[in-house]
Amino acid sequence: MLEKGVDFPPDPGSYVLALIAVEPFRLRAGALGERLLDAGVYLYVGSAFGPGGLRARLSRHWSGAQRLRWHVDYLRRQTHPVAAWYQPQAQPMEHVWARVLGAGRGIAPAWPGFGASDCRCATHLFYASELPSPGAFRARLGRAGCDTGGLRARGTAK
Ligand SMILES: [Zn+2]
């Protein structure tokens, strides 16, 4: 589990949030409907370009939003956050990151359209039976031509 009081930078940027489900669960996610999901690790790709940047968004995910706005808010209610990988950026890279994650070995799309209501990605939610290492993610981004200089990980060992 992530330590209490962990802080994220207030800058805009993109992130991957890792959420753990210890047993299979049924999730209703707004207009997407309902699905039975496996126990395991869920990787949600997002970006934070609003007020408060990554700090505001990741803190919201960590504590769990009271008002359900995004698909991930529903998922968060039934899972526990264990890690976040994030990178302050001038341009949102979440859609590129979603494509890169989806091509990862041992990582599979979890739910078509999840978190992708306003973009053309197949999904922004992925499933892995075990938490991938941030180093593997960094390497994969690098091979896809992404700048990973500011990429940070919290919540798990490197
Ligand atoms: Zn997208």
Report the length, in residues, of the chain.
158
Query: Rounded to an integer, what distance in angstroms lies between the CA atom of residue 117 and that of residue 95?
Result: 12
Confidence of residue 104 (pLDDT cuts 50, 70, 90): confident
Give yes or no for residue 59 having a pLDDT over 60. yes
pLDDT at 158: 43
C-alpha 34 – ligand 1 centre gap (Å)? 21
C-alpha 133 to ligand 1 mean position (Å): 22
CA 114–ligand 1 middle distance (angstroms): 9
> 3 vs 85, which has greater pLDDT?
85
Distance 125 CA to ligand 1 centre (A): 10
* pLDDT of the residue at 18: 97
What is the Cα–Cα distance from 87 to 102, expressed in whole angstroms?
18
Q: How far is the CA of 111 from the centre of ligand 1 (A)?
A: 13
What spacing in Å lies between the alpha carbon of 17 and ligand 1's midpoint? Answer: 15
Q: If you measure from the C-alpha of residue 93 to the centroid of ligand 1, how many angstroms do you get, rounded to a whole number?
A: 9
Task: Report domain extents, the chain.
Answer: 13-154
Q: How far apart are CA 154 and CA 24, in angstroms?
A: 25
Query: How far is the centre of ligand 1, averaged over its atoms, from the C-alpha of 140 (Å)?
Result: 18
pLDDT at residue 63 tops 80: yes
Predicted local confidence at residue 105, as pLDDT: 83
Is pLDDT above 90 for 31? no
Report whether pLDDT(40) > 70: yes
Q: Chain-wide mean pLDDT for the chain?
A: 91
Q: Per-residue confidence at 1, pLDDT binned at 50, 70, 90?
A: very low
CB atoms closer than 10 angstroms to residue 9: 15
Whether 141 contacts 97, CB under 8 Å? yes
| Sequential DSSP letters for 6-65 | ----SS-EEEEEEEEESS-EEEE-GGG-EEEE-SEEEEEEEEE-STTHHHHHHHHHHH--
Contact of 43 with 101, CB cutoff 8 Å: yes
Residue 117 pLDDT greater than 70, yes or no? yes
Confidence (pTM): 0.93
- Looking at residue 65, its pLDDT comes to 83
